[in-house]
Amino acid sequence: MFEWNWNSIKAECVAFLGPAGYGYVQTSPPNAHIVGKQWWTAYQPTSYDLVSNRGTREEFIDMVNTCKTAGVQVIADAVVNHMSGASAGTSTLGTNFTHYDYPGTYSANDFHYCGLTPDNNIADYTNRDQVQKCQLVGLADLATDTDYVQGRLADYLKDLLSTGVTGLRIDAAKHIASSDITNILSRVGPVPYITQEVIYGDNEPIQPSEYVANGAVQEFRYTNTLKWAFTEGGIDTLQDFGNRGWLDSKSANVFVANHDTERDSSLNYKSAMNTYYLATIFSLAHPYGANPTVLSSYFFEARDDGAPNNWQGACQGISGDKGWLCQHRWPGISGLVGFRNTVGDSEITNWQTGTHQQIAFGRGNLGFVAINNESAQWSAEFTTSLPDGSYCNVNGGAPRDGCMGSPITISGGKFTANITPRTALAVHVGAMAPAGL
């Protein structure tokens, strides 16, 4: 829930996330940061007090407790590679800092001065030392290889866990040696879910696989490949991710877009022909990536545009309100959350294709999906491993909202359908059509 404030996440856990079956909600960074309206101010920490554009410590704790009661665990975005990029300024806490001095938290000897580039900034991503010990876009790089910094970061993460958080996103993990993260986490104790941001780059020495010992790792090759497949390559190339040299499915955290890629590189809500929606449905239906993430964000024009409505997230019905997109409520996305919870880790069965942009597959005898990423109708008979019966098309958001649209009747494992252009269809045994429909 990119940039949603704590009060609005709290309300959304009860109103929608919990009932829809989402297991976790990921928040923007909760700690103090430089002042400003741009979204990326959250990625310039000034201390570990939980006072940010998105709310206070009390509001954060209240949100965590309410979400957990609603069945939704909380993942906090932990910015631990660096502090600010400003030469001096004021924090959201009202205190002052300079680039290498954060009174009460860090002072000059807690930072890397890599000495490998003229301005100490990263210039060459093929150089491991530069990537990990120089400054990312001018952000003061913490000496994460020192005892004090490791201890301070561990204290911060322990404090987050004490609020009831059970998941962490380690921001900019590629810029921290994996062994430093291991050391920090060893001081924290068990964390139920960790996902690490390690952006794969061709010809770069730092590999996402180096980080799997610490927890899940974000698989950006998946993000890039989905864009390619849905816009040019063909989605019939997406049956198998097991032999590409990527992260193992159980370690891979996958997504169609995150808050960075929606601005820079991936599919996003502006993508033509419904490809973003269909790719998200695909990511929830396909078993690769033990934990898929759905981005919920807001309309933007310029890259820096900050959150609308003073960070107060809002959805009206299924659609966004006041600039919020509320992707998590789009019927085909929330409906597929139920699908994924029902099918679990069942294997792909009954893979079928039409054109290169038309695929259908089952998940054992529990669910079946068909995706028509083509500008023409797909009329076909589909073969499934599902029990005979009348199913809701959960692409309409069922069963939470009842069975929207016509049910799909499976007989002898088969059904026929006319799938309209650029839409999908999904059924599972947890969403049977009510009798008489």
Residues that bind ligand LAG (CB under 6 A): 40, 43-44, 79, 85-86, 136-139, 171-172, 197, 260
The letter for the amino acid at 249 is S
Out of 12, 49, 141, 210, the only residue in the binding site for Ca ion (CB under 5 A) is 141
The one segment of 53-61, 138-146, 266-274, 394-402 that binds Ca ion by CB under 5 A: 138-146
| 204 included as an active-site residue | no
d(CA 165, CA 262): 26
Nearer to Ca ion, 175 or 422 (CB): 175
Nearer to Ca ion, 14 or 143 (CB): 143
CB of 170 to ligand LAG, least distance (A): 9
Dig out the tokens for 309 from the structure: 């409505």
The letter for the amino acid at 294 is V
The one segment of 131-139, 215-223, 232-240, 361-369 that binds Ca ion by CB under 5 A: 131-139
Dig out the tokens for 246 from the structure: 């990527």
Question: Which of Ca ion, ligand LAG, none is residue 338 near (CB under 5 to 8 Å by kind)?
Answer: none
Question: Which of ligand LAG, Ca ion, none is residue 141 near (CB under 5 to 8 Å by kind)?
Answer: Ca ion
The one segment of 75-83, 230-238, 258-266, 395-403 that binds Ca ion by CB under 5 A: 75-83
174 binds Ca ion (CB under 5 A): no
CB of 306 to ligand LAG, least distance (A): 12
CB of 39 to ligand LAG, least distance (A): 8
The catalytic residue among 12, 171, 219, 262 is: 171
Handedness of CA 324, 402, 382, 384 (dihedral sign): positive
CB of 183 to ligand LAG, least distance (A): 20
Out of 175, 263, 363, 422, the only residue in the binding site for Ca ion (CB under 5 A) is 175
| 262 included as an active-site residue | no
The catalytic residue among 197, 210, 219, 262 is: 197
180 binds Ca ion (CB under 5 A): no
Nearer to ligand LAG, 70 or 136 (CB): 136
d(CA 172, CA 82): 9
Count Cβ atoms within 10 A of the Cβ of residue 195 and give its class: 0-12 exposed, 13-18 middle, 19 or more buried. buried
CB of 295 to ligand LAG, least distance (A): 12
363 binds Ca ion (CB under 5 A): no
Q: How many residues in total does the chain contain?
A: 437
Catalytic site positions:
171, 197
Write out the residues near Ca ion by the rule CB under 5 A.
81, 132, 141, 175
